[in-house]
Amino acid sequence: MPQEVKYKSVSGPEEIINKRMRNSGGEEADRTIKTGDGVRRVYHNIHLSGSAKQHGPDHKGEGDIFGRPRGPANRRGEI
């Protein structure tokens, strides 16, 4: 006797499979290489040097062993 399979999404199993097969980390990569097909595929997300971005403000730094502040770790804004 056949069983009914219910999906949470309206689109069905094809869209679910396509979502699982996509690259999960290539949006911010400078270059993406895909090796293989199907379930044995591998994505290589390459970030070229110089593309490092600072996320958030400069860290204020921790104090020395006596509790005196040392200042921010990124004074000149290199990152």
pLDDT tens profile 18-53: 888 888 877 778 888 989 988 888 888 887 776 566
> Residue 21 has what DSSP assignment?
H
Q: Give the pLDDT confidence score for residue 55 in this predicted structure.
A: 65
Q: Is residue 35 part of a domain?
A: yes
Q: Is residue 27 part of a domain?
A: yes
- Structure tokens belonging to residue 37: 């097909």
| pLDDT of 59 over the 60 cut | yes
Please tell me which residue, 15 or 79, carries the higher pLDDT value: 15
Share of the chain above pLDDT 70, in %: 73
Range of the domain at 32: 13-46
Q: Is residue 72 part of a domain?
A: no
Give the angle subtended at the CA of 50 by the CAs of 45 and 52, to the nearest 5°.
70
Q: What is the tally of structural domains in the chain?
A: 1
**Cα 38 off chain centre by:** 22
